[in-house]
Structure 1
Amino acid sequence: MLQFLLRRSIGAVVILILISAFTFFLFFSIPQDPALLACGKNCTPDAIKIIHQNLGLDKPVPVQYWNFMVGIFAGRDFAVGHCSAPCFGYSFANNQPVWNTIVDRFPTTLSLTVGGAFVFLLVGLGTGMLAAWKRGTAVDKTFSSVSLVLSSMQIYFLGPIVLGLLVYSTDILSSPKYVPFTENPGQWFVGLLIPWIVLSVIFTANYTRMSRSTMIEQLQEEHVRTAKAKGMSSRYVFFRYAWRGSLIPIVTIFGMDLGSLFGGAIITEQTFSLAGIGRLAVESVIKTDLPMIMGVMLFSAFMILLFNIIVDAAYAWIDPRVRLS
């Protein structure tokens, strides 16, 4: 296990370096001087020159990239002060430390992801396994049909409809907003309830279909049929053998979905005006804010790679036939 984790960690570091290099050099191919953004309206050539010096933009691009990578691990010194590691620089738009901004935005994304993932995983697995258990019955056909329809929905389409029905028309719920859990757990729950509902509806449909198909496939495996032939009850065989074997593809897509959501649920946060990592990514691209773009990109990539490693390590625990080597 230790060798596997070390191997995957080294591979993840290489991927992050490649992503950072690609993003960094792609940014400088844009014919726009980032100093103009930091300069503001009353901008003069002398002011632009000073900004270039303060932000290190007067150096060659490879040197800027090297300084950026060194700053992540060792920190950097800027004209505005010292930036402690992990240092992604200062935003061109507001001169705030990039890492501090990401840390401030992350609780919103964390709350959105954890709540939504809990709902869609619980409901999706439950309905999918019930459909497999009742295969061919009205229950199976109902769940399969509903999941097929819901899987075709998109957040930017379903979100405004739910807002219109539950907020603007009936006032059943208030507009979505993030309130820290430590300040008011009740408002935290109510403020994120609508995004959780919409997020879970979209993802639940996929998990229902996936869990149903994998469970039906597992029920046809030889070891499952052998267990039934030995006189074991259908319920015991279902949960002891078929259910565990069906988890591997579920864990795969769950890890990818969770990593992507932790890296920023862009469409969801934009739809419900939640100030999370995803919305920060959109804002930084619109403003051509390189330090913020780099920080968000590397943070999102790190979360996706981290959960992929966790998923691969979980395979051996779920199915003893899987060997990490």
Structure 2
Amino acid sequence: MDIFIHILFLLVGFAFLIKGADFFIVSSVSIAKKLNVSPLIIGLTLVAFGTSLPELAVSFAASISARAAGTTADIAMGNVIGSNVANLTLILGFSAIMMPIAVRKSMHKQEFPFLVIITILISVLAFFFQSDAQIVWWESLILLLFFAFYMYLMFRTKRTPSEVDEIHVVDTKKAIVLLLIGLGGVSLGGYLVTTGAEFIAIELLVSAFSMNISRATTLVGLSIVALGTSLPELVTSIMAAKKGEGEIALGNVIGSNVFNTLLIVGLAGLVTPLGLNNDVLIDTVLLIGITAITIFFCITGSKISKLEGYILLGIYFSYILYIILRALSILPF
């Protein structure tokens, strides 16, 4: 009976995360526009942050739970790495299949190199800076400094994103109410998803398949939780692709991955060390390869074609199959 209750926690938690993030985006953009904040700042910060709120809520809840238990927050890093993989493959893949995604050449000089650098950085921190394979507080500060630099780049650039035009603006009073509801929704959703996922990992995977707790938690974080928290990005990008706004889909993914890697890992790591077992360490390297493939598709022909979209989808489902077989110890690595 307990397993069904925690599956319900997981599903209800995802619903709160998705709707809460949606309320947050609408309300924060509305308030920012009322205060005459630059459309650029709204699009590249508030919108990207809004779609990354589920990852932040889950990772932060996992960190607080781990700190109380005196352990490391393994599910937090699994969630971030898995979400980044889903963003680059599943989300961009689906979007490109619906409509080939045009890529601005200006992204070749700023967004793409920055994304590669921070993806490599998280692997370097995981592998070489700590013998116990953790992201600790001072490493989190490094990530937050890179995030501050990213924000500086966004303030400095002169491009105006079209994402803002896609968002309905509401009056200030309603925006404040929606903001509070949205923050409450993602907070409660983060707690429910973390609680449900950890229980399922321990009770179902450990008991039924004899996995160790760390590997089971990592599998759930990389797959179920990562996919669930990526749903806002998935919905936003697919809707944008349907309307022929492929740049929105690409910008949403790039921005979300930057927020996930720098802000979310940085903040969560300040609360408690983020555990990186061998599975997550391997996946940080896989993420570098997936990032390189995606950027290669973006650069060649200045677009992501439908064929490349299918390839990205194939990479995602191959990755999911790989982590399942690995967790079941069918694969040696």
TM-score, reference length from structure 2: 0.25
More helix by share: 2
TM-score, reference length from structure 1: 0.26
